[in-house]
Copies of this chain bind each other. A is one copy, B any other.
Amino acid sequence: MGGVASILEAGVAPVAQSGEDALVSLVRLVQSDLDACNRVIVANMDSPVALIPQLAAHIVAAGGKRLRPLLTLAAARLCGYPGETSGARHVDLAACVEFIHTATLLHDDVVDESQLRRGLASANAVFGNKASVLVGDFLFARAFQLMVQDGSLKVLAILSQAAATIAEGEVLQLVTQNDLSTTEDKYLEVIQGKTAALFAAACQVGAVVAERPVSEEMALADYGMKLGIAFQLVDDALDYVADQATLGKTIGDDFREGKITLPVLLAYSAGDEREKTFWRRTVEELDQSDTDLDRAMALMGDHDAIGLTLERARRFAQEARAALLVFPDRPIRQALGDVADYTVDRLR
């Protein structure tokens, strides 16, 4: 266990980077909860089968921002959940949220045949696809065990629904892959499922543990959903902008897989017939040469596809912030609103 704990320590805390001030502010407001959450995560990924904590530590420690559990912790605080006196349910449930997220990451990387995650070798690249699938299953089951320990059927309903919705979103993404006739609405349906549903559930659970009225639950779910959509829109833009050194993401991954994201759809629909032929060859037929990614990025530049994608993202981020107005104006509300802006502004 010492090994796992120490691997985890190294990568665990969200680290301040330029432009991440909003996230750092939010973390500061719930720092002790987040530390407690990390301890719950480490304790619960243990198993007598040593490969499980080894593989789990690899991905859990890979330095993610803990954004989803952070949302659960912050939402609970926003709702006035006392925490310390009542057994810190929000901490355990934040760990559940991270486990569900981690399980989907492990399965995603297998499905996408990814070699890198956040700049490090992905779990499937290090431990193989088989172990990644099975440890994902383990973490998913463990998340439900933790929820059962918490004992709230309402929380179980929210998170089991989210888990089913994530899988539906992922399958829908698979179905729309390589299909340029995908509409913007269908694309939004995909990212609501695969990404935003868990953001929404993570936030809603915070209100549930605080036993707040349904209106506040719904407001937080709405905030999470909009934030999640904005987050994924920017992520999809980053695939055509960021470079590996700064974001630990390989540029052009989505392009090489023929993943249909909004920047592609916008560039395709604005393009002339010759450009459409280019997109069909590269993204539908996956017939790509070394220079095609550059050409794709140039075409996106011509049609401002990244700018337009970010504009959509900014609108969702604004809606996310607006959803919080039912809550009193306190630093935690401010910080959650700022995180919505940060989500978009990390790409500038």
Contact = CB atoms under 8 A, between A and B. Distances in A.
Interface of A: 47-52, 103-104, 107, 110-111, 129-131, 133-135, 137-138, 140-142, 144-145, 147-148, 151, 153, 156-157, 160-161, 163-164, 166-168, 170-172, 174-175
Contacts of A47: 168, 171
Given A130-B174, A148-B153, A167 B137 contact: yes
A110 B137 contact: no
Interface of A is mostly: helix
Given A111-B133, A174-B134, A144 B167 contact: no
A168 B53 CA distance: 11
A131 B161 contact: no
A13 to B, nearest CB: 28
Contact of A51 (B103, B134, B174): B174
A323 B335 CA distance: 59
Given A52-B167, A141-B163, A147-B160, 16 more contacts: A47-B171, A48-B168, A49-B172, A50-B175, A51-B175, A52-B168, A103-B137, A111-B130, A131-B174, A133-B133, A134-B171, A135-B171, A137-B167, A144-B160, A148-B153, A148-B156
A161 B170 CA distance: 26
A151 B153 contact: yes
A237 B114 CA distance: 37
A202 to B, nearest CB: 16
A138 B130 CA distance: 18
Nearest to A143: B160
A161 B135 contact: no
A46 to B, nearest CB: 11
A130 B140 CA distance: 18
Contacts of A135: 167, 171
A141 B164 contact: yes
